[in-house]
Structure 1
Amino acid sequence: MAIEPSFSVLLARHPPVLVAAGQCYGRQDVPLAPGWEAFVERWTGQGTVYASPAQRCQRAAALLAGEAPVLTDERLLEMDFGAWEGQSWSDIPREALDDWASDPFRYRPGGGENVETLIARINAFWRDIVEKAACCRVVTHGGPLRVMAALAENRDFRMEDPAPPQGETILLHFFNKNGSFVAQKQPLR
């Protein structure tokens, strides 16, 4: 007899966007690519829908939620690349990229946000949804999803952790084991 999960969380990365190849964008509002709706139509899950304030997430979350409200949460924003936003990665000075590579957790690319700050705000969001122990759906960005995937595996975030492709999802089933919740990841296509 299979044990039923206590609750499930669908993690969704916004659908593909229209940006120039090699463009740095994080907080920059970029448009969704034509046909983005087909990605959301494949997403499943139940419960409250949380989304980053970015339009690429809000539009996808609204379609996913249907008539239900979407709860916007600032903590789900992508990392802020400051003055680098909108620039081509090849136009960013090499020494600045080297500085970031030498201290990736504390360096503030383009004067924006550092990875430590991203991790702290995603940790806070994660604690909130796990404490609620209710099914939900989360529409956000690659950076936050990389952190949440590490949290689901009960380990520290690593810079090499991959993000799911745009438009893809991960379904997490949470099981109550001795008074705390353990997540089991189920990739969806």
Structure 2
Amino acid sequence: MEIYLVRHTKPLIDKDICYGQTDIVVDDAGFPESAKLITSLLPEKIDAIYSSPLIRCGVLAEFIKQEKYPSLDIAYSHLLKEINFGEWENKKWDDINQIHLSKWMNDFVNEPVPGGESFNQLYQRVKLFITAVINSSHSAALIITHAGVIRAATTYIQQSGLKDAFAISCEYGCVTKFELNDLAEQVNILR
């Protein structure tokens, strides 16, 4: 089985803003070129398209479907949403209570954001989703989602430590391919 994890393109938001499940539109300036490049890296045939329901993923999912897989439907899942940053959503990082931020950064795996999630909570919902995809009859699946979800999925598939998840590179528009079989998995970063 092949699983393609694709991060959405650049959203239209300042770099110093904390956002997770805030629904943000994509930055139209670079979208066409990025979306075409992403699409070119995907295989000719897949069995399923999954996407986070947030706009920045849905726009890319619709583009890819129209350009390459017009006969497939997109299945949107709330399990693929980015980490919930709760009270920090849409705030400048510098405006967040630094005591709370420091506490979370020291143990982001277990420490939930006030009113939001810990990384472990994100991991548990992503694990549920990825397990269902792996147990499906698909030979290839495409998942358009967010950096946190891709990091959680990668740690689950590779059985690596959650505390190391943020060391996983995941730029806007990156495409990560997992080749899974009964014996092992192979990871290729396509972009």
TM-score, normalising length from structure 2? 0.87
User: 1:37–1:60: 8 Å Cα contact kept in structure 2?
Assistant: no
1:85, distance to aligned residue in structure 2 (A):
0.6
**Matched residues in 2 for 1:72 and 1:86: separation?**
23
Which protein has the bigger helix share? 2
Tell me, yes or no, if structure 1 residue 95 matches structure 2 residue 90. Answer: no
Does the CA-based 8 Å contact 1:145-1:163 persist in structure 2? no
How far off its partner does 1:126 sit?
1.1
> What root-mean-square deviation, in Å, do the aligned CA atoms of Structure 1 and Structure 2 show?
1.5
- Structure 2 CA distance, aligned partners of 1:159 and 1:49? 24
Are positions 1:147 and 2:141 aligned together? Answer: no
1:152–1:184 contact (8 Å) kept in structure 2: no
**Percent identity between the two aligned chains:** 23
1:152, 1:185 within 8 Å by CA — same for their partners in 2?
A: no
- After superposition, give the CA deviation of every residue in 1:96-139 in whole Å (9 maximum; x if it has no partner): 11221233222221321121210100110111111115111000
- List alignment gaps of at least 5 residues for structure 2: none
Task: State the TM-score, normalizing by the size of structure 1.
Answer: 0.88
SS, match of residue 21 in structure 2: coil
Letter in 1 for 2:25: P
**Structure-1 residue corresponding to 2:7:** 13
Superposed CA offset, 1:66-121 (max 9, x none): 22210001100000111111110001111111221233222221321121210100
* Counterpart position of 1:184: 186
Q: Which runs of 5+ in 1 are unaligned?
A: 1-6
Q: Closer, same or farther in 2 for the Cα pair 1:185/1:30, shift >3 Å?
A: same
Cα distance in 1, alignment partners of residues 120 and 48 from structure 2: 27
1:74 paired to 2:78: yes
Runs of 4+ aligned residues of structure 1 deviating over 3 Å after TM superposition are none
Query: Which residue in the other structure is 2:171 paired with?
Result: 165
Work out the CA distance in 1 between the residues paired with 2:166 and 2:48: 30
Q: Which moved more, 1:103-112 or 1:84-93?
A: 103-112
